[in-house]
Amino acid sequence: MRDQKSASVRSTVAILFAGLFASATASAQSISIAPPGQVSRGQAMPTTPPMVVVARQPELRGNLGGGFIEYLFGDQSRPRAELPPRIYSDPSHDTQRYANTQPTVGPMLEPQGTAIDPQFLRQQVDYQGSEEPGTIVIDTPNHFLYLVEPGGKAMRYGIGVGRPGFTWSGVHSVSSMKEWPDWVPPKEMLQRQPYLPHHMAGGPNNPLGARALYLGSTLYRIHGSNEPWTIGRNVSSGCIRMRNADVIDLYGRVKIGTKVVVL
């Protein structure tokens, strides 16, 4: 009798274990692990709302053309990282590498694609004035500079001149000549525009451009420009600005002591 009960208990236990094993196996077969970022079949979609990132809209501002005019009259609150790169006074900056630049219109002398009014391109013209050959004559109202040549001819260049209130006239002579000159704003200019740098090393981003002819003891110069689109306009503080290729050409034709007549 006892043996029959033991056998019955063992049979019941075996059946229970078999049932548990079958249930575990079925559960294991119904579970699947989805790769990261995927949802398993039958699994509910996550209810967490997606994160929305709103991109910062670009600031609307007028296009001042870049270069030095952008620096002077642009928004001074604009982050410096967005300002066009410029060369400032740096002891390690080797300005001599520009000294022997040939008078050709390359990217360093003038931005590519710059449109110039044909009348302001360098050209030989007839000259009927009274000045001797070798004299520089500056026709301020018409934005021309003439270098008088023998035989009733002159080489004519387009120029930019002083804005209203900054034009002048007189007779001077070239007192100094410099290649890729540094720029030091006079104190009068710094008083008007205190945000200007006190010194800017020579180079293609310098507002004095590739060459400068200094006139007597004045603060005025005939110089190149990194803004050739201003030729033919009244834009400066009194200096005579030229295209870089033109001022290099003029620089090679004149010398210290050259007479300069400003009309």
- Identify whether 143 is a catalytic site residue: no
User: How many CB atoms sit inside 10 A of residue 54's CB?
Assistant: 5
146 neighbors 156 (Cβ within 8 angstroms): yes
Q: Phi and psi (nearest 5°) for 150?
A: -65, 160
Nearest to 225 by CA among 249, 239, 242: 242
Q: Is 198 a catalytic residue?
A: no
Q: How far is it, in rounded angstroms, from Cα 26 to Cα 191? A: 88
> If phi over 0 gives left and psi between -120 and 50 gives alpha, with beta otherwise, what is residue 218?
beta
State the catalytic residue, choosing from 93, 172, 199, 239. Answer: 239
- Supply the residues annotated as catalytic: 223, 239
